[in-house]
Amino acid sequence: MSAENLRIPRHVAIIMDGNGRWARERGLPRSEGHRAGAESVRRVVEACNEFGVHYLTLYAFSTENWQRPKSEVQTLMRLLRQFLEDRSSDLQRHCIRLDVIGEMNRLPAAVQRRLRKVMDETSANTNGVLTLALSYGSRAELVRAARALAAKVSAGDLKVGDIDERRFAAELYTAGLPDPDLVIRTAGEQRLSNFLLWQASYAEFWVTSACWPDFGREHFLDALRDFSRRQRRFGGVADA
Ligand code: IPE
Ligand code: IPE
Ligand code: MG
């Protein structure tokens, strides 16, 4: 199947895993795996631009990742800051808007400043949306939404009976973002690791054994080809 007649998902979300294993296989420190992983981000942003994927969401740092050794967390935050410095011009060139989901206020102040700057600079861009999930965890996101709704109810601004899926989704970090059509996970693990539990309800799941630093255009194209062959039923019945 050529790239031309692929059915392109509107929103692809990626669980970028395996940086540590990639480094270990090469006798390198984990930090080198993370550094190489930043290069894969650049490639996949290019691929989305090439194939016309409008929304790309990248799981870059989970709520649970704060438990990692302090030095590793510092490396990841430093690389994130570096990425924002190096890549903001690419985002502008491709007219892509940057967004963040997660507990942004837990990130180091310098990282928050950079993020705000790039988000401001790219806020009018309309060619695509790159969403970084940072200090993101789905369960925390759901609890936060429940609290926001409860606060509205107790303030008398909302009736319990008026809470429906649409109102609930509007309280999530992803409000305004369409649900992912395709969730990709690298490095072989077949789990969501607390990523987009609500939003990925009907996403197609695609796993590759390739570690994130090895992930490139060809893997992405493989995933798109596979997605094109899937039949999404959303609980209905297949066409006769
Ligand atoms: C993904 O790679 C990056 C983050 C989770 C931040 P890992 O660091 O999880 O790599 P492995 O799973 O240990 O190989
Ligand atoms: C998921 O990877 C989180 C990110 C990719 C940011 P992890 O490496 O943290 O997930 P587990 O521990 O294998 O479930
Ligand atoms: Mg991992």
* pLDDT, tens digit, 9 for 90 and up, residues 169-202: 999 999 999 999 999 999 999 999 999 999 999 9
- Pick the ligand that lies closest to the CA of residue 60: 2
Q: Is 21 in the pocket of ligand 1 (CB under 6 A)?
A: yes
Catalytic residues: 17, 65
User: Does residue 234 carry a pLDDT above 90?
Assistant: yes
Q: What atom in ligand 1 is closest to the CA of residue 34?
A: 3
How far apart, in Å, are the Cα atoms of 164 and each of 155, 158, 167, 170, 235? 18, 11, 5, 10, 19
Residue keyed to tokens 């194939």: 51
Tell me the per-residue pLDDT of 193-215, one tens digit each, with 9 for 90 and over: 999 999 999 999 999 999 999 99
**CA separation for the pair 199, 184 (Å, rounded):** 14
What three-state secondary structure class fits 208? coil
User: Does residue 1 carry a pLDDT above 90?
Assistant: no
Tokens for 67? 């438990």
Q: What atom in ligand 2 is closest to the CA of residue 65?
A: 9
**CA separation for the pair 232, 235 (Å, rounded):** 9
Tokens for 111? 């990282």
Instruction: Characterise 18 by phi-psi region: left (phi > 0), alpha (psi -120 to 50), beta (else).
Output: left
User: Does residue 129 carry a pLDDT above 70?
Assistant: yes
Q: Which helix (H) or strand (E) holds 31?
A: helix 30-51
Q: Which residues partner with 15 through β-bridges? A: 59, 185
Tell me the per-residue pLDDT of 43-61, one tens digit each, with 9 for 90 and over: 999 999 999 999 999 999 9
**CA separation for the pair 130, 54 (Å, rounded):** 8
Alpha carbon of 103 to ligand 2 centroid (Å)? 17
pTM value is: 0.97
Of all protein residues, the one whose alpha carbon is nearest to atom 8 of ligand 2 is 17
Q: CATH for 3-137+181-228, among 3.40.1180.10, 3.40.30.10, 3.30.565.10, 2.40.50.100? A: 3.40.1180.10
Alpha carbon of 234 to ligand 1 centroid (Å)? 31
Q: Is 16 in the pocket of ligand 1 (CB under 6 A)?
A: yes
Q: Which residues form the pocket of ligand 2, taking CB atoms under 6 Å from any ligand atom?
A: 15-17, 59-62, 65, 189, 191, 193
Q: What atom in ligand 1 is closest to the CA of residue 61?
A: 6
Pocket test for ligand 1, best of 16, 19, 21, 25 (most atoms within 8 A of CB): 19
